[in-house]
Structures are given as C-alpha cells and as structure tokens.
Chains A and B, each alone.
Chain A
C-alpha cells in the first residue's frame, strides 16, 4: 500500500537535496545463538529442503554455521518422510510430493530441542505475464500481471532473479495480499534498484502462493530488512515465525508460478 511510502517519498525528495550518509561504529550486544530453520515445499516434483543453521554476532563474517545431525521429518496425509542430511545443515525429502490443499507438518529435533510447524499449500494462481514500467532516473520496474481468485483470501510472495541469480542485498523480494484487491486483475509493480535490471538480461519472476502465517512472517521480515529503524518503519522485532519451540525462520508449503522475459 502506498500510504506508508508517503513519508518515504517526502524524505527522499528532501534527502536528495540535502542528505548525506556515513559508516559509523556501533557497539552491539551479542545475544546467545538461536536456531534458524527454513523449510519450503512447493508443487513441483521434489526433493524439498529444510535448512537448519544458527545466528552469529553482528560483527562476525557472514559465515552461518549449519546444524548437523538433526532429526527432521515431514508428515502429510498420514505418511511421514524422514529427511536425510544431504549437505551440512541441509536436509532433503525422499518421496514427499507437494500438492495444493494438503497440510504438511514439520518436526525437527536439533541439539536436544524439539520444533514443530504446519503449513497448508494453497490452490495455485497463475502468473500471466511480466511487463515493464519506467520509474525514477529511467529505471525499469517489472510488473507482474495475474488474476486474483475472488472470494478466497490469497497471499503472494514474489522473488526476482536476473540471469538465474537473486538481486543483491536482499532486494527483489516482496509480498502482496488480496485484502484490498479480492477478485481484481492485478498489475503488481515490483520495486528494485537501477543496478538490478540490466538491458538484455533475463528477468525471472517467481510468484509463490503462500498461506496466511507464512505471509505474515514474510511481510514482517521485509519490514525489518530495511535493516534499521528508519523513518516510516515500525519498531523492529523478530518476525512471527510459524515454527513453535523458539526457532527463527519459517516453514512454507506454497505453489510456484514463474515467468521469464528479456529485459528491454
């Protein structure tokens, strides 16, 4: 919703006229390490992966220690798939198939603690097409076009790739829900930076239909991904995870629809 962007836009104007920035030293406390679990099941053939890692200190290098030797199981329709660790901290399924309408339950036993989560895969929504719109400083923004099903709450996650790679610095991720758009044909503008979209490269937009809890998690994660308490953002807090037991991260059963276009 553009409302929260008002102050951002106003400040942007004044900022460009006056503002400046610099790197500063901040002394941050180091909290005890926490477990981070992410698991994705989609409607393509498997295998699906669950990743378990740990938090590190802010000042450390971005090497996130994997958690090995955990017991990871996913159950659906009364059948349990016990995942095997295929690389450090990454656990893969064997025979599990992701199908819309099915509820998946995750069970993790890592370092003596239990974590559980459930997620129901929604019905798929097709991403029809991608086109482009001009933005500020002649940047191009991708626009995702699709029909929102009427009468059903739908939650969407968008991930953009250029030539198969994600954008840098966490960009290219957004969420959308149909709370104010139920049944409409949606032309969703995906904001990015001029450095992300390069003429001639292939832009791939992946649209996931996620469930309500995963949408809330991803939405809150995006709010803190500005990485700071800026103007216009709420006080940061850890996103509400759908994993019980005190783990950070999420467990999502979602459908995928992708489209690729060459950037003009």
Chain B
C-alpha cells in the first residue's frame, strides 16, 4: 500500500514537472537617453525555441516561457542591443533602456541587421523611420511624411498641389490617418504643399495598404498610423528649423525626471510676407498662412499606470484683404490611460475629441455671407492585449464614436443676394468590437486572424428624405432625438499568414474586408478643403472593400538589401459618383445628387531597399489599374478611375559624403491620370463647345521630376547641433502638367488648341535646423 502511494506520488510529481511551469517576464523598452518608449523593439529569448515578441505601441512587452535559464536579447534599429541573462523561475518585470547607436561616423558599432520585413506577418505594411523622412528632399525644404510615403509602392501622389494620396487605386478619402489615435480629417495644409505633421516630434510611422489589423478600420484603402514622441523625460531639449517659407520649433523635457515629460511643437508659415512684395494688388493684399501646434504630456503614476494628455491644433487661412477669407483646420484632444492588469494583460483606454471645420467669410459691400461647416467626433476606445504565451497574442476591445456633422450654416446680411440657410445637423453613433489573434504556429508559420464587427447607426433629430431616380424627393420622415433611422451591421474578417522559407525569405498572403461609413463628396478632380463629408444614411450605404494579396520577400547579403514584390486585387462596393451637373453645395437634399456603383483595382508592386552603409535608398515600382462601374455613367461600362496611373516609379538615394555632407535625391515618374477630353467640337450661340464620348479614356502626359538636397552638418557639440539643408524641388525644371485646357487659338480663332498649365518649375529652398 505504502509502496503504491509512493509510486503514484512519484508519477504525479513526474507529470507535474514535465508539464513544466511557465513564467512571464514583462516590462517596457525605452531609449536610455530620452526616456522615449520604443515601438516594435524585438525581444527574444535565445535558445531552441527562439521565442520572441515585439514591443507594442507603448513600448510594453510580455514573454511567457517554460521555467529555465535564458539569454534575453532586446534590439531596436538605431540602438545598441541589450543582452540579459535571466532565470525564469517566477514572474519578473524588467525595464530595458537601450543606448542609441552613436552619431559619430567613426564609431564602429555592431548593430544587428534586421530582417523584420521577412518575419513580420502582415503584407502590405511599410514602416518609415524618421531618419528616412529627414533625408528625402521635399518641396519648400519641409520634411513631410505624406510626401515621403508617396515614394513607396502602391501609394500614389495626387500630383503637384494636391492634398490627397491614393493607395492601391482607392479614393483620396479612403485613407485613415491617425495621429496618436485621433483621426485627422485634413492631413495637409494649403492644398498639399505642407503636411500637418511636424516631423521633429514624430516617433513612428507605419502605413498599412489595406491589410489593417482588426483593431483598426473605418476607411477602405489604407491606414497611416503616426505616433508622436512623448517628450524627453530626462533633459530639456529644444530643436527646430528656420526656412524660407516656414519655421518650426520643438520643446520637450521632464515634468518629473524619469516619471513624466511634456512636448510642445509648433510650426508656422510666413508665405504671406513674400506676397506683400508683389506689385499686383490682388496678391499683396492676400493672406496666406497656416500653423500647427502639437502638445503632449505624460506621467507614470506607478509601475502599472501611465496617463497621457495630448492636443493638436492646426489651421490654414487664405484671404484677399478683407473681402474674402477662408479658414479651415483640425483640433483634437486625447486623454489616454495605460494600465497593466497582469504581466500578460495590457490595456489602453482613450477618450478622444476631434473637431474639423471650415469658415468662409465674404464681404463685398452688399453681398455679405459667412459659412461654417464642421465635423465633431467624440470617441471612447478600449484596447486590450493579452500575451497568452505559446507565441500567442490576443488583441480585443471596442470603441464607440459619436459623430456630429454640421454640413453648413450660411448666414447673410439683409442686403445680401443670398438667404440665410442652415442645413440640418446629422448624427451618427459608430460602435465597433474586435478580436484578433497573432499566433506563431511554428518557427516557419505565423498567422494573424481577426474579426471586426461594426454597427453604424444614424440617429435623429432630423428629417430624412427618400428620392426617386430623377432626384425628386418622394418622402420625408421626421425622427426625434436619439431615435435610430438606419443601422448598418458589418462583419469584417481579417486574415494574414507568413511562411518563412528561410531566415532571408518569406511568402505572405492575406485577405481583408474593410468598411467605410464616412464619405467625402467632391465632384472636382482635385480636392478642396470645402468638400463635404457625409455619413452613411437611409440612402447612402457603407462602402465595402475586399482585398486579397500575396507577396514574396527576400533579403540579400545578410539583410543589407531588402527586396519584395506583392500582388493585390481589390473589389469595391457602394462607390459614390455624381449626377451630371450635381449640386453638392448648400443642398439639403445632396443625397439626391449621388449615383452608385462598384470598383476594382489590381496591381503588382516591387520594392528594393538598401538600409545600411553610406549609400542608402530604395526603388519602388507599381504596375496597376483601378476602374469604376457606376450606374448611368459612361453608358454603364467600366472606365478607369481618375487616379489610375499605369506605371509609377520612385527612386530615392541618400549618400553620406564624409562627416559633414549628406546628399539626398529622389526621382519620380508616373503615367498621367485618366482624363476626359473632347472627341469633337460644335457651335452653340457663336461659342465653341466640346463634345465628349467616353469617360476617362485619355491620359494626361507623363509626369516626372527629380529633387535634390544637400545637408551640411554645422558645429556639433554636447550642447548644440546645427545643420543647413539646401534643396531644389524639380531640379531640371520640367513643366509637369497640372491641367490641360482647350480653347480657341488666340492667334487663329478658327482653330482650337490645347494649353498645358504647370505649377512648379525650379523651387529652391534653404533651411537651418538646430537642436540643443
């Protein structure tokens, strides 16, 4: 009996020990010099299993492994790796502070060459480092994230002077731009010449070309996720730049050393000062400026809790003396709370308020008119990350947004030619819940699966109209406050898989569905700050995109060169277009002017990059097609979307010449946009009118341009770092087509001719950058 018991106990003991106790090590990864949390740092336990995780957007990591001794290696680009021997026999917390790799060129630093692009699961993702943004020459010498991402495959520029960008054939309103989790509605100043992001203050930029993780959604084609610096929590630092057109300054420092910090960053342009020099009275009485202010503060309450408060204000103003003025801008405020429940469960709660509005005022003696239009959003977001162990991470959460749209309030004086008009406000409640799983099934296979459920509800108070095919109102229904007019429930699955062929190459495939409930109405070929955003409604259905993609990724020469190629195919539903002569302005029944249809986009992207050495850069090439099929348009036949550009090539080269000079240049080439041009002409009342046949059956001439820049490193001491950047946008001054107009030849009115207008030829600039 005793012997039997003894055997059972021994067996049980053997069973228990072979089940192997697991423990968790967790903590935060920061930059040792500034205290900034590092996003996407790699933390690995060396050994047979090679367990590893990436730090999350707040620098948090958590690894669960069987009880054992391990060597932990933590690495992040631009920093020296850190190694730690640990004995994992209970739950441990450990904070890592990584040293930057050192700015001196003659310092030999062993920095492991990363193969993130091979191992990272999601295809269609592009990360850009701040260094890369700083070295790419851009118009007016201003560093610009939006312009830099347009040099990547699959992301097309809207052209000179254009705000929008187009990802994989999607529309300009199909890109979700987040700045520290707050949605940015207008990401460019002054029609796209300057971005709203001050690159001094940016920590991380990631672009998802449609394959977004399940915690993101709301726009069909892409996500541009921009994270700002939190602020140096050890020392005060000031940096900035003074340029010909605009200047910027960034001040950061500790609130309580090592516990809390703040950052304030501001930019303003003074282009209007130059306009005053003009002799033309229209120009010298013009007002043209923009400004941005970014402010953040954070405080570590205790080991498990950290709070953040951030705000962004940006505004553009354009006017002609006091006769006409338009002002538009974004303001956002975000309150966030990081809470670490257990060593495996991380939570972030955010409360976000955003306000996007424009204001127009016209004073023409008797004709006075002021117009106000805005969108206000209030969002509550809860994101939880559970590091389950076994190479399994589960993300789940929800968010709730209340949208209030003020489409337009037109106020006029008694003598004005216009009546006052107040379009009714629109209200919508957007609720989302999601769950997703990142699983390393084996050392070769990684799977990401996710599901996002969204419930979009349009609520009263208000009148809701129904229309017939002629656009006439057939029914008006009144709803009281809070009553649901229409609800759209959409399930959005997300799936991605990576198969690692070997350490240097992998294959990725993915499928995702995205929904968009906010639609930008703009029937001009360029976008306007006064374009109208409308929510889905009883007439307008949510837009849907289904995208599949497959890619091959390969690094060569020990990760010195990256190479990738991806194929994608995207189907779009419920795409919006406009009736002939559509009236979108000041129209209560604007939905009667819309027509609907579908779209498809497909393409091949190729990308090659050299990340290390004194010569770095990348080449990206996209071959693509994007088409639409809209009821009543083009005789109900497929036609190319305006943004369809068959070939698109970008080459970026950065060369570090000695200790003082960095030379940068980029070259872009793309096939022209699709345009509708005349196929004949006729006479109406003595004037020549043009006859059109198919929609978008012609192409603008090709666009190509090269920009060059040279940065001269000035004196650099412990306390001060200055540099001069000289650049020329459009270095060979090509007259790139901005638009083409047809008119009677002034020299020979019997003939018609085509005139091409170009916007920029050579644009030089000088900027002085400083840091102390």
Contacts and interface: CB of A to CB of B under 8 A. Distances in A.
B461 interface: no
Contacts of B524: 4, 7, 231-234
A228 B695 contact: no
A17 B279 CA distance: 11
B17 interface: no
A224 to B, nearest CB: 6
B326 A56 contact: no
A13 B757 contact: no
Contacts of A223: 581
A162 B84 CA distance: 88
A54 B684 CA distance: 11
Contact of B740 (A2, A168, A189, A228): A228
A18 B761 contact: yes
Contacts of B324: 2, 9
A235 B697 CA distance: 12
Contacts of A231: 161, 524-526, 738-739
Interface in A38-92: 38, 53-59, 61-64
B281 A238 contact: no
Contacts of A7: 191, 524, 526, 528
Contacts of A119: none
A13 B288 contact: yes
Interface stretch (B247-255, B412-420, B430-438, B716-724): B412-420
A15 B759 contact: yes
B35 to A, nearest CB: 42
Interface in B168-196: 190-191
Nearest to A34: B691
Contact of B701 (A24, A181, A187, A230): A24
Given A186-B417, A189-B364, A229-B525, A53 B683 contact: yes
B453 interface: no
| A interface majority secondary structure | mixed
B759 A14 contact: yes
Interface in A161-193: 166, 168-170, 173, 179-189
A36 B682 contact: yes
Contact of B682 (A1, A64, A186, A188): A64
Given A19-B738, A228-B739, A137 B581 contact: no
A6 interface: yes
A239 interface: yes
B750 A61 contact: yes
A257 interface: no
A80 B682 CA distance: 29
A153 interface: no
A216 B743 contact: no
Interface in B584-637: 585-586
Contact of A58 (B318, B410, B681, B696): B681
B691 A10 contact: no
Interface in B301-328: 318, 320, 324, 326
A1 to B, nearest CB: 5
A21 B744 contact: no
A184 B417 contact: yes
A204 to B, nearest CB: 15
Interface stretch (A25-33, A94-102, A108-116, A120-128): A25-33
B752 A62 contact: yes
A233 B371 CA distance: 21
Residue from A17, A59, A183, A250 having most chain B Cβ neighbours under 10 A: A17
Which of under 10, 10 to 19, 20 to 34, or 35 or more describes the interface residues of A? 35 or more
Given A22-B756, A64-B682, A170 B529 contact: no
Residue from B523, B642, B680 having most chain A Cβ neighbours under 10 A: B680
B417 A187 contact: yes
Contacts, number: 260
Which of under 10, 10 to 19, 20 to 34, or 35 or more describes the interface residues of B? 35 or more
B367 interface: yes
Interface stretch (B3-11, B41-49, B198-206, B671-679): B671-679
B754 A24 contact: yes
A229 B675 contact: yes
A253 to B, nearest CB: 15
Contacts of A137: 280-282
Given A3-B360, A4-B585, A18 B684 contact: no
A9 B750 contact: no
B580 interface: yes
Interface in B693-738: 693, 695-698, 701, 735, 737-738
A28 B685 CA distance: 24
A245 interface: no
A186 B418 CA distance: 8
Contact of A229 (B320, B701, B740, B758): B740
B606 to A, nearest CB: 31
Contact of B684 (A26, A58, A183, A249): A249
Contacts of B582: 234
Contacts of A219: 581
Interface string B340-375: 000000000000000000001010111101010000
A122 B283 CA distance: 43
A64 B679 contact: no
B681 A55 contact: yes
Interface of B: 161, 190-191, 275, 278, 280-283, 286, 288, 318, 320, 324, 326, 360, 362, 364-367, 369, 371, 410, 415-419, 421, 523-526, 528-530, 578, 580-583, 585-586, 642, 675-693, 695-698, 701, 735, 737-744, 749-761, 763
Given A36-B682, A180-B419, A232-B528, 4 more contacts: A23-B754, A58-B679, A216-B581, A233-B525
Interface of A: 1-4, 6-7, 9-11, 13-26, 28-31, 33-34, 36, 38, 53-59, 61-64, 133, 136-138, 166, 168-170, 173, 179-189, 216, 219-221, 223-240, 248-250
14 contacts: A3-B530, A6-B528, A30-B679, A55-B691, A58-B752, A59-B751, A62-B744, A133-B364, A166-B687, A183-B419, A184-B418, A226-B741, A234-B523, A240-B580
Closest 8 CB pairs of A and B: A228-B741, A31-B679, A227-B742, A170-B687, A136-B282, A230-B739, A55-B680, A234-B523
